[in-house]
Structure 1
Amino acid sequence: MWVFNKMLASIGIGNAKVDTKLEKSQYTLGETVSGIIDVQGGTVEQKIDEIYLTLHTNYEVENDDHTYQKTATINRYLITQPFVIGPNETKEIPFSFQLPFETPLTYGKTKIWIKTGMDIKNAIDPTDQDYIRVVANPLIDSVLHAVKELGFRLREVDCEEAPFRFRTYAPYFQEFEFVPVSGAFRGHLKELEFVFFVKNDQALEVLVELDRKSRGLAALFGDSEKNVRLSLTSHDIPNMKHRINDFLIRYI
């Protein structure tokens, strides 16, 4: 019977199972993700080579006028070294890791999930998958609020394949597209696009693309778009609206 059960486990029947239980489902960018991995032994004793977590997101890729979704692995975390689990034995394995700053925020079609993998020799490897919601840290949040207060509306957020010059950061980047609906910039800008490159909790680099309503020679030669960079720190948060306003005025 033992040999028969072992054979069944090798094809996934009566195999050990894994279930990840997160402390919560929403996290701020850069926050510590923690939880418990429940391992339930199967019908026979099995050696677990390792348990690992991988953090994933999806992004859009354009090819020959077609758009499709692709999955990126943001990071991989080794949780355990090899161990043996007996028949019907249960183990609770705690874990924690910091949510990487290159993780996109949960907007639109962009999803973020944690996949649990358990490597078992000579058996089908069990997996588990849990979606989480990632929200802006205080620095990005202050930028988004400031832009709104300046009369812009967030029109669209896309996570797209990154140009080659950004590939060392991640294979994707997340673009926030705003349109002016009121305030001083309405009539001067068609749209405003931000890409956030988070250095740490205290520092942020913003790639800004301004699409201006050009007139005269600028309109004739198509000189309506401007790409500039803006460096921000947590010290800018109390005066973020004025900081963004003064920055934009220089380019309209």
Structure 2
Amino acid sequence: MFGQLKASLGIGAAKVDTVLDSMSYMQGDTLNGTVHIQGGDVDQQVDAINLKLCTEVKVEGEEGTSYQNFTLGTLQAVQPFTIHAGENKQVPFQFKLDPETPITSLNTVNNQCHVWLETSLDIDFAIDPKDRDFFEINPLPVVANLISSIENSGFAMVKADVEKGYLNGGNFSSKSGCYQEIEFRNSGMINKKEIELSFILEMNTVHCLAEVDRSLSFRGDQYISFSLDRNASHSDILSAVNQILSV
């Protein structure tokens, strides 16, 4: 009885550790990994292994800007079971990434984009053991090539973050409840310009919404949206970049 009481307070309780097969993925990939559960000093009933795909989003409000954790997807790995004292249990899993999972491997000092997998054991009347594993999301080749083309046109990536809300590109829209913005600036004095890009993956199509701000323009922010095949040619990518730069 005393052992159960200590376990409910997290003393001598079961521990959880999730190990991913890889620490680097692309949007739309499937995570593969194993949840390792180490039994504590007493037997404990585990009602579920809960996995959450998370990111951090920026929230604009009347009192200013704040940041909060945001869940992009969930997975319940197993049915209820008992983890016996001292037992080591391994549970393999697969977790399909949300297609709107933000890119994290971006070449900018002000990169506020993070993605992680949070694992918890659902144990009644106890502090749920938890584990958090950060991993990298790389851009799809078509996105990486488009970003490189923007940078080769004289723009530097200066910031990337994830906003809470929905994105509307005219013939496409986001669904997850958050969207990523990747910001670029050029160094021109006369033709100074800022570009913000947001990408949405839908099956084999990559949608893009570009917001363009010219510092000396009286037209305000201008928007352009387009879609590219996941295997778009270099000429198609350059054509899309030219659309953005011509705004």
TM-score over 0.5 (shorter chain): yes
For 2:182, the equivalent position in structure 1 comes to 176
- Alpha-carbon separation, structure 2, partners of 1:245 and 1:10: 57
Question: Counterpart of 2:239?
Answer: 243
- Tell me, in whole angstroms, the C-alpha distance in 1 between the residues paired with 2:86 and 2:213: 62
Structure 1 residue 151: Cα displacement: 2.5
CA pair 236-165 structure 1, distance change in 2 beyond 3 A: closer
Residue matched to 1:11: 9
Q: CA deviation at 1:43?
A: 1.6
Cα distance in 1, alignment partners of residues 219 and 228 from structure 2: 27
Over the matched positions of the two proteins, sequence identity in percent amounts to 31
Paired position in structure 2 for 1:67: 65
How far is 1:126 from its partner?
A: 0.9
2:8 maps to a residue whose letter is S
How far, CA to CA, are the matches of 1:237 and 1:139 in structure 2?
8
User: Once the 2 structures are TM-superposed, how far is the Cα of residue 172 of structure 1 from its aligned partner?
Assistant: 2.2
Q: Find 2:201's aligned residue among 198, 203, 228.
A: 198
**What corresponds to 2:97 in structure 1?**
99
What is the match of residue 157 of structure 1?
160
C-alpha distance in structure 1 between counterparts of 2:131 and 2:241, whole Å: 46
For residues 86-111 of structure 1, the C-alpha deviation after alignment (integer angstroms, 9 at most, x for no partner) is 11111111111122111111151221
Deviation at 1:13, TM superposition (A): 1.8
Superposed displacement of residue 63, structure 1: 2.3
Report the Cα distance in structure 1 between the residues aligned to 2:193 and 2:238, rounded to whole angstroms: 21
- Pair 248,16 (structure 1): closer, same or farther in 2 beyond 3 Å: closer
Q: Which of 36, 39, 61 in structure 2 is aligned with 1:38?
A: 36
SS of equivalent to 1:13: coil
Partner of 1:118: 121
- Give the gaps of 5 or more residues in structure 1: none
Paired with 2:102 and 2:241, the residues of 1 have a C-alpha distance of 25
Higher helix share: 1
What are the superposed Cα offsets for residues 13-32 of structure 1, whole Å, 9 maximum, x if unpaired?
22111111112222222222
- State the Cα distance separating 1:155 from its structure 2 match: 2.0
| Alignment RMSD | 2.4
TM-score by length of 2: 0.86
Q: Alpha carbons of 1:168 and 1:152: their partners in 2 closer, same or farther (altered >3 Å)? A: closer
My pick for the range that moved more, 55-64 or 85-94, is 55-64
Distance 1:22 1:235 in 2: 28
SS of residue matched to 1:139: helix
Partners of 1:79 and 1:57 in 2: how far apart? 20
Distance 1:245 1:59, change over 3 A: closer
Distance in 1 separating the partners of 2:167 and 2:181: 16
Structure 1 runs of 4+ with >3 Å offset: 163-168, 186-189
Taking a change above 3 Å as real, the CA distance of residues 168 and 224 of structure 1, as seen in their structure-2 partners, is: closer
Q: Which has the larger radius of gyration?
A: 1
Q: Deviations over 1:187-227 (max 9, x none)?
A: 54512221111113x2111111122366xxxx5xx314311
1:29 maps to 27
